[in-house]
């Protein structure tokens, strides 16, 4: 069980950019793991945003963020980032990252039921 720490949220205007970071403990091995970003807006269910198999494959993105969000990893720092460009009001939400437990297999996708450990999240607010 590992609890990530998310940072980098804030308030930006429509069209602005933010970079979120997901920090894993220094002794935790993030190689060959499925990591993902999720978000939850008030009154809505948590939804998957992007996922990345850290052993080396192209990230997966939900359609609404394709071309605007980029997920990347920094193994040396045990950090996974989410670069968000051209932010829109509908991107406003609490953002969470998580590591998929090894008991779940299959393609690395941000499927909420396959992720169990959650951090506090970081708030992203996009003003119109």
What's the pLDDT at 109?
97
Q: Is residue 24 a contact partner of residue 3, using CB atoms and an 8 Å limit?
A: no
Q: What DSSP state is assigned to residue 106?
A: S
Confidence of residue 119 (pLDDT cuts 50, 70, 90): confident
Cα–Cα distance measured from residue 63 to residue 46, given in angstroms and rounded to the nearest whole number: 16
pLDDT tens-digit profile of 67-115? 999 999 988 889 999 999 999 999 999 999 999 999 998 999 999 999 9
What's the pLDDT at 17?
98
Confidence of residue 121 (pLDDT cuts 50, 70, 90): very high
Cα–Cα distance measured from residue 51 to residue 96, given in angstroms and rounded to the nearest whole number: 12
What's the pLDDT at 95?
98
What's the pLDDT at 87?
98
pLDDT tens-digit profile of 27-69? 888 888 999 999 999 999 999 999 999 988 899 999 999 999 9
Characterize the bridge pairing of strands 60-61 and 69-74: unpaired
Characterize the bridge pairing of strands 47-53 and 79-84: unpaired
Q: Report helix, strand and coil shares of the chain as percent, to nearest 5.
A: 5, 40, 50
What's the pLDDT at 42?
93
> Encoding tokens for residue 84?
């968000």
């Amino acid at each position: 069980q590992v609890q990530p720490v998310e940072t980098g949220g804030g308030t930006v205007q429509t069209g602005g950019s933010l970079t979120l970071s997901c920090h894993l403990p220094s002794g935790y091995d993030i190689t060959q793991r499925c990591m993902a970003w999720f978000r939850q807006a008030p009154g809505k269910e948590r939804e998957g945003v992007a996922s990345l198999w850290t052993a080396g494959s192209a990230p997966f993105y939900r359609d609404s963020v394709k071309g605007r969000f980029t997920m990347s990893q920094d193994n040396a720092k045990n950090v996974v980032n989410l670069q968000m460009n051209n932010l829109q009001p509908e991107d406003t939400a609490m953002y969470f990252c998580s590591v998929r437990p090894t008991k779940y297999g299959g393609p690395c996708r941000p499927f909420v039921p396959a992720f169990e450990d959650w951090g506090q999240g970081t708030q992203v607010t996009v003003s119109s």
